[in-house]
Structure 1
């Protein structure tokens, strides 16, 4: 059966798709209804400044699994080809993933949902259950799903299907009778929600929660960001021609996830596994629903943006008895810190890898404030999206775009909304130079040259091939056909 030992807990990782850190009721949105996730936050710790490593799905997921940067594992954009079948390719082949470490420690692994790292039909090592989306997303009804290598098209709503599948996995693991000691399980419940499409994609019991409401938490701007991809009607492409209707669908899809999480938590409680299961809820990357005049994430603009709304994600971690509840932490932590944190909290015998940039924040899970961490305060995080790189401290953010810019500098203490780009001002030239130098040193320390994204033509339109010597430029899709963003201002202008 599953583990009933809190010191060797089961793991449930719930990963959503394109959910901003702001998009939870407990994060302050006045309209969004997420009672089960709000309750999970009350039972654990909610991180208010948890950063993805790249503001787009595939590289962010690859970094969460490996603890590596995109310029180490070589996934720099969302994967647009080699999804399944004869042409399927594993984009992380040869890269150690935390799932493999769990399997080596005796965990039984299950996947319900999105993988989106190539060869999605092929169960990865250690997985005893594999129910994976064929690609990376799409319509919620009749989604193409591989169940242990066999393609299925169930007509029901995908979020409900994934909840049903995940609960069945927990039931099966709880009911197993092993010949030896208890065997913990690790479940990856990877929703495609709240990713587009939105309009007409969700049952009325969820859309009716928001229809006819002002949804004041996400006011739509009078003008769109000048770097946005716009349709013929002057509306961002991601908003599908109707920002209000898309917002209703976005909110509804999150409430659907909340309901699913409630079902799964109830199943853990029914089997007496609540105290012996670490539950993690997070997302691959952030999202803007009108924030900064953008609909979308990092590739909602060109050049790609690094606004906090694009690079911060919700993050809740709970295990009653081991993770003191009712807390929020404003420590700056990143998805590249997740791998070593799991190793420490789960008590896995896995040596630290000096080539990985992350540091464990298990001390925060245990009730600390994050100041210990081996004498290193966690005050700096880094992000990248192809040739766009970011360094962020508590008070400042610097964004560098290779090779020509434009670059950005924000005083987050005085301008938390990132509305005034201070790059190019004489007053802040020294600070910009210092941050740029620190950014350069950090990436120089960790980047694998053959996977370095700083000179790659990553446009946000998709990645077709694994990055290998000689294949870099051809690995990326061209910009969105027939659509051009408004020309961005010259270097130094806001």
Structure 2
């Protein structure tokens, strides 16, 4: 009788244990609990995106006279990536790549005729594109954007139509809506070369929107960086219960350069340095808020820029450091940017020399939020979690450098092949290369020493990657060319 009772008790215990295990195991996905204890679960995400900031414009990336203590702190306490890339070397396609996790050539948000969207552009980001904001919103995130959008200024193309609950900022670049009626970039350069620091906000009839409504025009650009930071801080405070996604896209240091009185004349680098140091101060304000509210342990902050420095603007533009060329080119200086990831609760200090891109943020944070990557289209992002939160190497081994709809260069591992080159906005420098130029980017980041004749096998290896890439490349229609 006693043995019978013992058997019944044991059987009941095992049944209960089995049921409990099954309940816990199968509840994991629904509770949003990661099955990998190293990975964060639905972390708050803040992406801070500068405009035309060069690879060499932060003191942590080698600038000798621009003081960026807050970004330097982010880099020392978090991860500093030295091979972090954007999806294009100009504003609109680069921002499209960040938002969609896709090369902009796939969705038509790049062009061989027009570099970016203008105030008279007809189109914008297509409704069928899925943005990182829409991904995170579907996972229960509050989503807010502050700053420069540049993916279409009409209501159906604005952030509030593409996954953002709230928006405050300017819909395109701060040098547009020029009251002087300049008709071309050549005319702009011809009139204002080396005099961007003499411009006034009134010369640019740029609007500030809140949601879809114009609340200020022309924008008082001297206080724009300060107000962007204030708006972002306020929004984060209001959504601190989380999870939240804040996309802070600064309008500067894109020319014309403007800075608040507090930072005017404080940098050894002149007005450009003043602007960068004010952006850095804003980063510090956000870090202070996160720490004061106890959000720093569950928030991941990323800082990067949309493309390299606008070298054609002379002293008013930035620096790519040891990298060759800048904005508008597919040389390293045009598309390699500072990439800093900071999160005291999740990210351990590390210098990362592996490759990453802004497109990878789409996959990384979609996966952390538990949202499936769209399966009905070609995606170009890669989940960076192995290197961000563990000891793994970056899973990315390839970077494709497009200018408009044309593939200008490809990097595979240490080697980069250039099929076409052009220095920024200098049409007389356009050149096609057969065989391609070849550089070992790890040993020669300045792209000075062509290895094509010495290592043709590396060119062949890259050409196989190009062949595979082209096999599933369907280019979207040019959405930027329609204006007027």
TM-score normalised per structure 1: 0.72
Tell me, what secondary structure is at the counterpart of 2:135? Answer: helix
Out of 39, 45, 55, which is 1:11 matched to? Answer: 45
Change in Cα spacing, 1:119 to 1:40, as seen in structure 2 (3 Å) is same
Tell me, what secondary structure is at the counterpart of 1:447? Answer: coil
Out of 170, 173, 178, which is 1:133 matched to? Answer: 170
CA distance in 1, matches of 2:383, 2:59: 28
CA distance in 2, matches of 1:29, 1:72: 36
Cα pair 1:113 1:189 within 8 Å, conserved: yes
Shift of 1:283: 1.1
CA distance in 1, matches of 2:327, 2:468: 24
Note if 1:416 corresponds to 2:445.
Answer: yes
Out of 389, 399, 402, which is 1:384 matched to? Answer: 402
Change in Cα spacing, 1:414 to 1:273, as seen in structure 2 (3 Å) is closer
Change in Cα spacing, 1:140 to 1:125, as seen in structure 2 (3 Å) is farther
Structure number with larger C-alpha Rg = 2
How does 1:463-474 map onto structure 2 within 5 Å?
466=479
Q: Which residue of 1 aligns with 2:83?
A: 49
Q: Deviations over 1:296-342 (max 9, x none)?
A: 7342xxxxx32211111111112222111x21101111222221111
Q: Which residue of 1 aligns with 2:233?
A: 167
Cα pair 2:71 2:280 within 8 Å, conserved: yes
Q: Which residue of 1 aligns with 2:272?
A: 250
Note if 1:320 corresponds to 2:344.
Answer: yes
Shift of 1:203: 3.8
Tell me, what secondary structure is at the counterpart of 2:214? Answer: strand
CA distance in 1, matches of 2:260, 2:165: 32
Q: Which residue of 2 aligns with 1:223?
A: none
Shift of 1:404: 7.2
Q: Deviations over 1:418-455 (max 9, x none)?
A: 123455xx44445434423432432x14421444xxxx
Note if 1:193 corresponds to 2:258.
Answer: no
CA distance in 1, matches of 2:154, 2:169: 6
Q: Which residue of 1 aligns with 2:412?
A: 393
Q: Which residue of 1 aligns with 2:161?
A: 124
CA distance in 2, matches of 1:293, 1:350: 36
Q: Which residue of 2 aligns with 1:71?
A: 105
CA distance in 1, matches of 2:444, 2:76: 30
Cα pair 2:139 2:370 within 8 Å, conserved: no
CA distance in 2, matches of 1:343, 1:441: 26
Tell me, what secondary structure is at the counterpart of 2:165? Answer: strand
Tell me, what secondary structure is at the counterpart of 1:46? Answer: strand
Cα pair 1:21 1:48 within 8 Å, conserved: no
CA distance in 1, matches of 2:340, 2:322: 28
CA distance in 1, matches of 2:355, 2:388: 14
How does 1:119-268 map onto structure 2 within 5 Å?
119=153, 121=155, 122=158, 123-138=160-175, 141=201, 143-153=206-216, 155=220, 156-174=222-240, 183-198=242-257, 201-203=258-260, 205-211=262-268, 248-268=270-290
Change in Cα spacing, 1:450 to 1:135, as seen in structure 2 (3 Å) is closer
Moved more, 254-263 or 268-277: 268-277
Higher helix fraction (1 or 2) = 2
Unaligned runs of 5+ in 1: 175-181, 216-247, 300-304, 452-464, 468-473, 478-494
Moved more, 402-411 or 109-118: 402-411
Q: Which residue of 1 aligns with 2:368?
A: 345
Shift of 1:164: 1.1
How does 1:413-452 map onto structure 2 within 5 Å?
413-423=442-452, 426-442=453-469, 444-451=470-477
CA distance in 2, matches of 1:351, 1:72: 14
Paired residues, number? 394
Tell me, what secondary structure is at the counterpart of 2:76? Answer: helix
Change in Cα spacing, 1:204 to 1:420, as seen in structure 2 (3 Å) is farther
Tell me, what secondary structure is at the counterpart of 1:331? Answer: strand
CA distance in 2, matches of 1:169, 1:295: 39
Change in Cα spacing, 1:339 to 1:445, as seen in structure 2 (3 Å) is farther
CA distance in 1, matches of 2:104, 2:286: 32
Q: Deviations over 1:171-214 (max 9, x none)?
A: 2223xxxxxxx54111111101111113xx22454342334xxx
Change in Cα spacing, 1:190 to 1:393, as seen in structure 2 (3 Å) is same
CA distance in 1, matches of 2:288, 2:468: 47
CA distance in 1, matches of 2:252, 2:145: 16
How does 1:78-117 map onto structure 2 within 5 Å?
78-81=115-118, 89-117=123-151
Tell me, what secondary structure is at the counterpart of 1:408? Answer: strand
Cα pair 1:140 1:157 within 8 Å, conserved: no
TM-score normalised per structure 2: 0.73
Change in Cα spacing, 1:135 to 1:314, as seen in structure 2 (3 Å) is same
CA distance in 2, matches of 1:52, 1:197: 23
Q: Which residue of 1 aligns with 2:190?
A: none
Change in Cα spacing, 1:296 to 1:280, as seen in structure 2 (3 Å) is same
CA distance in 2, matches of 1:64, 1:108: 19
CA distance in 2, matches of 1:400, 1:476: 30
Tell me, what secondary structure is at the counterpart of 2:248? Answer: strand
Tell me, what secondary structure is at the counterpart of 1:267? Answer: helix
